[in-house]
């Protein structure tokens, strides 16, 4: 749906609470925002319909599950027209967890999660570097993620007319 929708303070407060804790029940959100549970439900349905809310995810400590290497991959494309085909092939690789089409040095910047450096090497050499359209890659291994957070929604000040 391509309609423009202006978020009001109630929408922003609902979103802010869910950004902080996506598992918070609508009844608790309603209590904190001083509206009914039905209002929260209707607002969330509308935000989902408009594509503002895309779903909810779990935050996982992958290291505790045996995936101890986080890496960033700068991908040089042979030409920008191969982007969509390359992305489709990268999407099929489970270790690739995010992809961005970028300006600057790389055509694509990807994030990978692997068990260890041997696993990373296998993914790079046996899958990614074999994709048609990829010229070369540069790998950066993350030593530590200091933080990973969503942006905080700011209240928008109305402009004088």
Contact 7, 154 (CB under 8 A): no
Beta-carbon contacts of residue 115 (< 8 Å; ≥ 6 apart): 66, 67, 68, 69
What is the DSSP annotation of 117-157?
A: HHHHHHHHHHTGGGSTTEEEEEEEEES------PPPPPPPP
DSSP string for residues in 20-37 = H-TT--HHHHHHHHTS-H
List the structure tokens of 150.
């969503």
Closest CA to 56 of 84, 32, 24, 82: 24
Please name every residue paired with 70 in a beta bridge, in sequence order, or none if there are none. 113, 142
Q: Is 85 helix (H, G, I), strand (E, B) or coil?
A: helix
Record the pTM. 0.80
pLDDT tens, position by position, for the chain (161 residues)?
445 678 899 999 999 999 888 999 999 999 999 999 999 999 999 999 999 999 888 889 999 999 999 999 999 999 999 999 999 999 999 999 999 999 999 999 999 999 999 999 999 999 999 999 999 999 999 999 999 888 887 654 444 54
């Amino acid at each position: 749906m391509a309609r423009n929708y202006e978020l009001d303070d109630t929408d922003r407060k609902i979103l802010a609470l869910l950004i902080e804790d996506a598992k918070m029940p609508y009844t608790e959100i309603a209590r904190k925002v001083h509206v009914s549970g039905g209002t929260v439900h209707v607002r969330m349905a509308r935000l989902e319909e408009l594509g503002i809310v895309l779903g909810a995810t779990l935050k996982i400590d992958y290291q505790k599950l045996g995936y101890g290497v986080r890496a960033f991959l700068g991908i040089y494309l042979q030409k920008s027209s191969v982007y969509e085909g390359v992305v489709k092939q990268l999407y099929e690789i489970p270790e690739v967890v995010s992809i961005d089409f970028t300006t600057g040095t790389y055509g694509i910047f990807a994030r990978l999660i692997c068990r260890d450096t041997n696993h990373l090497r296998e993914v790079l050499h046996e899958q990614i570097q074999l994709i048609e359209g990829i010229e070369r890659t540069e790998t950066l291994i993350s030593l530590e993620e200091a933080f990973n957070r969503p942006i905080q929604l700011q209240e928008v000040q109305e402009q004088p007319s």
